[in-house]
Structures are given as structure tokens and as C-alpha cells.
Amino acid sequence: MSPAGDAVPVSASDVEAATADTAGTPSAPGDARPPVPLARPVIGEAEERAVLEVLRSRHLSLGPRVPEFERRFAQRVGAAHGCAVSSGTAGLHLALRAVGVEDCAKEDEVVTSPFSFIATANAVLFEGATPVFVDVDPETLNVTPDAVASAVTDRTRALLPVHIFGYPADVPAMERLGLPIVEDGAQALGAVHADGVPVGGHGHSTIFAFYANKQLTTGEGGLVTTGDAAVKQRIDSERNQGRAPDMQWLDHDRLGFNYRLSDLHCALGLAQLDRLDDMLEGRDRVAAWYREALAPLVARTGLELLCEDRGGNRRSWFVYVVRVPHGVDRDRTIRALADRGIQTRPYLPAIHLFAFYRERFGFREGQFPVAEDAAARGLSLPFFPEMTQAQVQRVVEDLTAVLAP
């Protein structure tokens, strides 16, 4: 992440971390307006009190806040169990292990999306398996059940759909393939499937992430929801160096990792849960302002917005991503907006085109054209629950000046 005052980068290498509160960062020379940051967490007195109480208790880890946060979060999404972990990536790793993606041969495969944060695919590699990508739907940007089914072979060990930008993937249809499913819901807290079940509530292991730009933040951290008590028991053990609940602190009965989440993080998470409805409503409100304000630019230039809710599916707004018109240099647009004090980022790169994946698996341009187009044109605008309508209007005015002078 660039320090305050640095030029805004256009590299996609750290888009997930581009969430600094830049309220004190000056705009471009000669521009007296305060900058508009990309994201800003909602943190108030309740969060401060919650963390201070844990500090004063001196019980900073493996304490009572962890199970309380797990229970309340799982209840929120309609899951039987929750397992707090140190990050969404850690949750993906442990959830995949729990469904059998463990100590794999290279031939073992997990079908997933090339249009996601890189952790989705990296977690498959942690256990030696190979991510098999399928292209995404041009409207939802999620993988479709048909595309997933076409990639399934006798080597497929699991499916890893991503609820990209908070829009529910069609997990119920994927269930008919009869394979283990791990859901990447890192961006989808609050999203609801067409059948009325929240993302995370279908019983599959579903990971959520709590970085500072998410719908709920613990600073860093993640959580796995599951309907399976045995999966809960396994993840709880493996996150804590392989120690079972009834074992002494230096006794371990399986391979494990240090993927714990502290009481400090969970205290912050509990305070955030108390205000989650208000924060989600704030995101809905800002998204509606953007939709209305951007309508003339959409009609005039061909700028594309994320799809509307349809068929009963309901998006949970994580980021506000637009796709610049065909023929427009997205990275030049980012630089031009930065000159006006508007912080934006490319969102998201296509995983298979990262150098590491090209070199290891031989991926090339043109294999997943919809994902590649979305990656080349995706632009994340400033978006956070406490954003004002005046800030939205300013972003739209500056974007209009850049795209349609």
C-alpha cells in the first residue's frame, strides 16, 4: 500500500490492500478539495470499548470472545458452526483440507474462477492440487453451474465457487454435481441466494474475510462457516497447531497451523456485528446513489455497471466496480482520477495471467475471455458505508470529465 502522499499505483499486485484512510492526504497540486479515499472502515466508540475491555482483561487470545464471535456470526448467516481464523486465506486452506483436498498429487483438481483475489487459487496450491479455471458469466462475473460441470473430471476433488463482488453464485445448482463444495464468500457477507438462504447458510464450508474494506472488519481475520460438526472440530484443531480441545497446550495429535484469531480481533468483530445491518444499509444507499448518478455516463459512453439483483438473488455491496468503455485506457483513467484526488484501483486481475501461474501452468491470454475483459476494464471507485452523496457526485463528475470531456 502506498504511504500517504505517494502517487496512486496502477499495479494490481496489492489491490486487496488498497484501503488506507487517506483523509489527510492532499489532492493534486492546486486542488484544494480533500481527497476521496477508496475505502474506510466504520470504527466508533463501541469498537474502541470492546478492544479496550479485552486489553484490560489481559486475556488476549484463546479467550471467551472467540467462541462468542463464532456463534453469533454463524447464527447471522444461518450456519450451524463457525470457526474463526487468522485470514480468509487461512480459512480457504483449512476448508479445502477438510473436504479432502489434502496432500494431493498434481493431477488432483479443484474447479474455480480465474476472476477473484489470488488467494482463492493459491489455497488450492497449498496442498499440491491444481486449480482448474472456467470462464465467468458476463453479467454476474461468477462461474456458472454449466461451465463448472464441463470442467469436472474423475480428478476433480472439489468445487470452489466465488461470490464475486458480493453477488451469489448458483451454489444450489452446483450441488447436483455431487462433489464437495467450498464457497469463497470473502466478499459476500449479507448476500442472499434466490432460495432465501444467506451466503454461508447452505451447509458447505464457506469462508468470510474481515480485512478493513470488507462489510465487517476485524482488522485482519476470517471465519469458516459449516453445517458439519466434524469439519468444525477439525478446523478448530488445525488452526491451533493440531491440538484437540481436550488436550494440554503442548500436546498435539495431528498436523496443524498457527491460524488462530485473537480475542482482540473477535471483540472488534462482535462490535461490528452489532452495527452490521446499518453498515449494509449504508452500502446499499451509496450504491443506489452511484447507480443514479452514473446513468447518464452509462448511456453516453458505454460504461458498464455491475448487474442488478435478479431471480431473487441479492447482492451484498463489497466494492463499487465499473467497467470502463471498450477502447478506454483503464490505467490512464486511474492516473487521471488520482490527479483529481479520487483514489481508485484496478479490480480484479485475472489470476491465470499472473506471471507465476503462466510459468507454472502455461496459461495464456485468450483462454478465459470474459474474465480477461473484466480484469482489463474493471475500475473500483471509492466506496464505503459513510460515504456522502456529495462525495459520490464528485467522483461521478470527475469520472465524467475524464471519460467524456
CA dihedral 9, 299, 33, 392 (to 10 degrees): -90
**Range list of H helices, 113-262:** 119-126, 145-151, 171-174, 229-238
Q: Say whether 7 sits in a helix, a strand or coil.
A: coil
- Name the catalytic one among 40, 76, 214, 352: 214
DSSP secondary structure, 50-116, as one string: HHHHHHHHT--SSSTHHHHHHHHHHHHHT-SEEEEES-HHHHHHHHHHHTT--S--TT-EEEE-SBS
Rounded CA separation 127/111 (Å): 14
- The closest alpha carbon to 18, from 358, 239, 329, 346, belongs to 346
Q: Who contacts 178 (Cβ-Cβ below 8 Å, separation ≥6)? A: none
- The closest alpha carbon to 98, from 170, 184, 157, 185, belongs to 157
| CA-to-CA separations, 302 to 155, 296, 325, 346, in angstroms, rounded | 42, 10, 5, 18
Rounded CA separation 95/97 (Å): 5
The β-bridge relationship of strands 320-323 and 304-305 is antiparallel
Q: What angle do CA 318, 320, 324 make, to 5 degrees?
A: 145
Q: Is 106 a catalytic residue?
A: no
Burial class of residue 386 in the structure, from the number of CB atoms within 10 Å of its CB (0-12 exposed, 13-18 middle, 19+ buried): exposed
Asked if residues 262 and 60 have their Cβ atoms less than 8 Å apart, the reply is yes
Residues identified as active-site: 214
